[in-house]
Each structure stands twice: as structure tokens, then as C-alpha cells.
Structure 1
Amino acid sequence: MITGEPSGGDSHQARKSQVWEAHQIFIKEVLDVEIMEDAPLIQFGRAERSGPQTVHNDALVITAILANYEVGRIFIDSGSSADILFGEAYDQMQLGDVFLEKVNTSLYGFAGEVVHPRGMVSLPLTMGKENARKTCLLKLLVVDVPSAYNVILGRPTLNTFQAVISTYHVKIKFPTPGGIGEVQGDPLQSRRCYVDVIRRGEKRGGDDTQD
């Protein structure tokens, strides 16, 4: 579910050191973030549609660099008030619990179910390409529940990046010192996640029926 080798080294200690260094580099940038008053206008044009050319209802699912890992199945959810990193994905990153902070706040799902996070972790997220690239330090809740996604990025991340999304164009855009950065969503990945969600729901329903 997570692809790519860590650029900080192959050992657990090297990966942890890389994340720690990233904290020191980016934390000042995050604390000093100011709204770019003179940022170029963010807009979306018809010609930008590189995804489905017919009417679609695909979720915005992207790939980005999280703590030096190329992570796919990142669901952009403007309806979420929290940024979530699912436990299975976190464990694959092999960072251990050294960066986890204890949290007492619980999460409440759409149906009112309560989820208690394993903890909170601060990790750098990079989006964009070349000069129009942006990195921000995010606080993600690590949650141990099955999911078709690796990460859910909600309003905290969108506000931190000053990002604008278009599900019609399957794209996210944000201002950077080098111009407007953008990440194109992956409709195929989105649909695979959707199928996975449906299968998980059917499986749970079948288990309930048997009980």
C-alpha cells in the first residue's frame, strides 16, 4: 500500500533520524506560515480535465510524499475535521512509537461510532513538483481501524496548504513561492478504493448476518 524506498536510509534508526531532521527543518516554516496575499489566482479550466471525460462521482485520491515515503491512496476529504493516518500504513513506515504523542480525544464516525486513536504524529507532507512544490508539517491521528485508504487529509491540511480542490477536475491546487502547485488525482486508484470499501462493507454485513 506504500511504495518506494525511504530516502533517509534502510535502517529503522536512519528513518527515525530523517523524520527528526525534517521536524527541525520544517517546524519553523509551519510556525511562520502566513497567507500569501499576492499569490496568483487559483482557478480550474475545462482543458485541465485529465481524468474521466464524462460525468463522474470519483473521490479525490492522490499520491504524495509523507515522511520521505511515496504514499498512495490518500483521500482528500474536505468534510473531515481531522487528518488521519491509518495504523497499517503507519506500521509499514517502520517509524515506531517514538514520535507518537498521546491524545485523549476520540473520533466520531458518520454513524456515531467512536474510535480511540493510537496517538498523534507530526510528519512532513510534500505536494507538487519541481519549483511549485510545498512541504508542511502535519499532525495526523494514527487510527487502528481497517480502511481502503492509507491517509485521510481533511480541513486542517487543506487550510495549512491554503489549498483549493476540484472534484470535477480531480485535482488539488495550492500557492507556493514558485507559483501554483498542483496534484492530479488518480481516478483508477479512487475507484479501486471504492470497490475495496464496498467489499469491506459487504463482508461486515455478512458476518453480522451469520451472528
Structure 2
Amino acid sequence: MEIDDKVPVGRPMIYFGPANAHGVHLPHNDALVISSTVANYTFQCIFVDSGSFADVIFYKLYQQMELGDVPLESVDTSLYGFVGEVVHPLGQISLSLSLGSEPTRRTRIVCVLAVDMPSAYNLILGRPALNNFQAVVSTYHMKLKFPVGAENAMWKQ
């Protein structure tokens, strides 16, 4: 692996320092859970999972969103859970996802898989959404940062 220590002009380096852990009760083993706006609905309990290859919305929440005539598109994939159980998504849908707050709020279109199973979370943000935002996650600091112009935005639990 080659390390590039040069930061492009006009692009800030994303850095987590001691000040970013202010207010976090250390040590901890907590998951990073955020709130966000999805398709103009604000949701709590969004699990940030940088280990997940998919962004997931739970079907019960999808139904509550009342998206009208926007159906799920069929998808031919399976998800595998922690102990190897197979979950077949009901379909996929592209939704707007906003992170941050003004003036550093950013919105992107993300494709989420809808699954019909119980969950303590409303959505799971996996690597596709995190990469779409160029986000960097620090579970130690309980923060998510992403570039916004010449600054970095920070979204925290």
C-alpha cells in the first residue's frame, strides 16, 4: 500500500483529534447511530456500518414513508447476517439522504435495499452511502466526517 501524504489544494484533510472525543464516555464499544433526513423524512436510529456492503431500509419504515406510487425495483441479491442467515431483499429504491446541518448539509441519492425483518434501527448506512459522501467514520470518537467544499462537516451521535 502506498501512502500519499499530499492533500490536494482546496481539499481539507479529514482528521480526528482528542477534541473530537469531547463528550464521549470512554472507553466504550458503542455503535455509531445517527439521525438523518431520508426522502424529506427525519429519522433517528440510523446505524452507520462501514462493514456492510449494502445500504438497507427496513420495510416497515418504507411503508410508513408513504412514497405514493414509487414501487420497489426488483433486485437479485441476498444479504447474509451475522450468523450466516440469508435475507432476501424485497427490492431496492433510490432515495435522497441528507447528512449534516446547514451550512454544511449535503444531500446525495442512495440506493437502498428493502428488507422485511425486525430491527432496532430504521436504516443501515453501509459502504455505498459512506463512499458516496466520501465519509470517514470514527467509532472511537462517535463521529462521521465528510468533505464540504474547503471544510469538513462533522456528524455525530
**TM-score surpassing 0.5?**
yes
Q: Which amino acid aligns with 1:88?
A: K
Match of 1:6 in 2: none
> Number of matched residues?
150
Q: Which amino acid aligns with 1:53?
A: H
Determine which structure has the larger strand proportion and give its number: 2
Match of 1:93 in 2: 65
Q: Deviations over 1:62-97 (max 9, x none)?
A: 001111111110000011000000111111111146
C-alpha distance in 2, partners of 1:100/1:51? 40
1:49 positional shift: 2.1
Q: Which amino acid aligns with 2:146?
A: F
Of 13, 24, 49, the residue aligned with 1:77 is 49
C-alpha distance in 2, partners of 1:131/1:60? 23
Query: Percent of aligned pairs with the same residue?
Result: 55
Of 79, 92, 98, the residue aligned with 1:120 is 92
Output the aligned Cα RMSD.
Answer: 1.6
Structure 1: runs of 5+ lacking an equivalent: 1-35, 186-211
Determine which structure has the larger helix proportion and give its number: 1
Match of 2:147 in 1: 175
Structure 2: runs of 5+ lacking an equivalent: 1-6
After TM superposition, what 4+ stretches of structure 1 lie above 6 angstroms from structure 2? none
Q: Deviations over 1:129-178 (max 9, x none)?
A: 21212111000000001000000011111111100011111000000126
Structure of greater relative contact order (alpha carbons < 8 Å, 6+ residues apart): 2
Q: Which amino acid aligns with 1:127?
A: L
Helix, strand or coil for the counterpart of 2:129?
A: helix
Preserved CA contact (<8 Å) 1:51 1:169: no
C-alpha distance in 1, partners of 2:123/2:60? 10
C-alpha distance in 2, partners of 1:88/1:50? 35
Which structure's CA Rg is the greater one?
1
Q: Deviations over 1:6-65 (max 9, x none)?
A: xxxxxxxxxxxxxxxxxxxxxxxxxxxxxx943211111212224433200110000011
C-alpha distance in 2, partners of 1:97/1:120? 14
Preserved CA contact (<8 Å) 2:93 2:111: yes
1:139 aligns with 2:111: yes
TM-score (norm 2): 0.89
Helix, strand or coil for the counterpart of 2:112?
A: strand
